[in-house]
Amino acid sequence: MRRNKPALIASASALAVLLAGCTGESATSTGPAGGGTTKTAKDTLTLGMSADIQGWDPSNQPSYQGWAGEAAWDTLVKCDAFGKPEADIADKWSITEDNKSFTAHIREGMKFSDGTPVDSAAVEATFKYISAHGGAQADYEGIKFDTPDPQNITITWPEPQPMIVTRVCNPKVTTKAILDSGKVNDTPVGSGPYVLDTAGTTRGSVYAFTKNDQHWNAANYPYKKLVVKVIESETATVSALKTKQIDGALITPQSYNEITASGLKVQMMQGQTTRLLLTDHLGKKIPALGDVRVRRAINMVFDREAMVKNLYQGHGKPSYQIFRPGSDAYIEGLQDPYPFDVAKAKALMAEAGYEKGFALELPTMAGQNHEKLMPYVTQQLAQLNITVKQVPLSGANAIGDLLSGTYPVVFWQLGNLGQSLQDIDVVVRSSGYWNLMHQPDATVDKHWKQIVTGDAAQKKAAQQEINRYIIDQAWFAPMVNPDGFYAHSPDVTVDKVSDVEALTPKLRDFK
């Protein structure tokens, strides 16, 4: 699972993001500076990327803006926007009922870019490597392989894996030779739809690829060449988009008007939910939070409509649940369970015996939009006499501190996932790293058990139960689903975003 990467990048280049998000937007057209090259359709796709990739180690590839990785490598199966499997290296697959084993048949005739065949040995080597390298090692602990022949492989986990598809769709399959060579970070060896063109590539700024015509799915990758350019500054990105130096890039709300006014298209994505995480459900650290009335009262002091309108300039929707619309856990047609009502909230606090409020430390970090949102959050909580002290986190320890449980309440613009199981695993379950206090909860555990063992329908029902439960218990105070923006040239079609994180279109979405 590569969930961690976008968050890390967000903090790693916190300043760049902050800056891009804020200073961005060229107010002028720089003229056709170097642009204006005529381009025959479906010739070259040039994408802008706001942060460089971290070399070619397959265990260290971002899913956020991960186009270079998607170009170079295939995966056993691909995950769609809701985490459902699609064919890739495996043309046929099956999952055991206990969710422990994934059996795949490897497509015949596939070859890596070094000419060696894609076989079960390569898949095994890849998964072994992933289980010992990078940040997702825990997800592959104790896996076993069964490779009866080069075309068939079964991967087995010691414990049931409700998200077995997610586990399988992430590792980028490469050869044992390159993994053993010690030069795994230097160059990609994969069977992906494109092959790295080293002559046209300058690490740190431009990655060029030529199409792999032998790729099994070549028809769905219409461009003969792919170029990924690292453009860190938002303004440079906008100006490159306008001068057609690039065909697509992520932009921030500030550039939205500029981009649409210049005839470029924008694909909206709603991959985040701005929320308070109230993880001290048992009131271990802050006794008041152990009272559900206090958590509900907190939910009532935020004017979600006004937040969207003023703090997000209308780019977003009010949100009442933490899950992605359309995902299994999402409850369609849910009314606002805690409408904005400060008086009622105060009454609830009084009822719970906390009319005097309590003190709360909220961590802040650069690049998280905190400077814009935190004042309002602070002020609204103050109406319940909850006095907020902001604690700025910085440096390498920031993420560690954030997740350490020191701060039972966190205000974050956290991603929501198409595969809501993953959200439940990470944010709701006591073992999830975003469940900061890791307090056990029998109800959640009970439903999770149903998820682990049940069939698809039972899984979905259990997820909805969990969602209802955490809404009722007010474990979170969801506020806004802010829009994300992917700007692209009208020559390029981006109809859908297959990203389970809904943060960027995937390479296969560009038509």
Judged by CB under 8 A, the number of residues near other proteins is 84
Residue 286 three-state SS: coil
Name the DSSP class of 3. Answer: T
Among 400, 431, 438, 493, binds other proteins (CB under 8 A): 400
Neighbour-count burial of 429, counting CB atoms closer than 10 A to its CB (0-12 exposed, 13-18 middle, 19+ buried): buried
Round the CA-based radius of gyration of the chain to a whole number and report it.
24
Torsion sign over Cα 252, 253, 259, 264: positive
Nearer to other proteins, 181 or 394 (CB): 394
For position 371 contacting other proteins by CB under 8 A, the verdict is: yes
Query: At its nearest, how many Å lie between other proteins and the CB of residue 237?
Result: 8
Pair 221, 507: CB distance under 8 Å:
yes
- Token output for 183: 């030069």
Pair 195, 113: CB distance under 8 Å:
yes
Nearer to other proteins, 378 or 473 (CB): 378
Site for other proteins, residues 27 to 56, rule: CB under 8 A: 27-28, 30-31, 33-35, 52-55
- Segment near other proteins (CB under 8 A), from 92-100, 111-119, 235-243, 492-500? 235-243
Query: At its nearest, how many Å lie between other proteins and the CB of residue 393?
Result: 8
Site for other proteins, residues 273 to 332, rule: CB under 8 A: 303, 306-307, 309-311, 313
Site for other proteins, residues 438 to 497, rule: CB under 8 A: none
For position 24 contacting other proteins by CB under 8 A, the verdict is: yes
Nearer to other proteins, 12 or 347 (CB): 12
For position 5 contacting other proteins by CB under 8 A, the verdict is: yes
Nearer to other proteins, 291 or 423 (CB): 423
For position 232 contacting other proteins by CB under 8 A, the verdict is: yes
Site for other proteins, residues 98 to 127, rule: CB under 8 A: none
The length of the chain, given as a count of residues:
511
Site for other proteins, residues 334 to 363, rule: CB under 8 A: none
Give the separation between CA 501 and CA 423, rounded to whole angstroms. 10
- Token output for 251: 């932009």
Cα angle for residues 466, 468, 473 (degrees, 5° grid): 95
For position 424 contacting other proteins by CB under 8 A, the verdict is: no
Site for other proteins, residues 245 to 274, rule: CB under 8 A: 245, 254
All residues at 6 or more sequence positions from 55 whose CB lies less than 8 Å from its CB, including other chains = 185, 186
Pair 5, 65: CB distance under 8 Å:
no
Site for other proteins, residues 129 to 158, rule: CB under 8 A: 134-139
Site for other proteins, residues 190 to 229, rule: CB under 8 A: 203-205
- Token output for 325: 């619309």
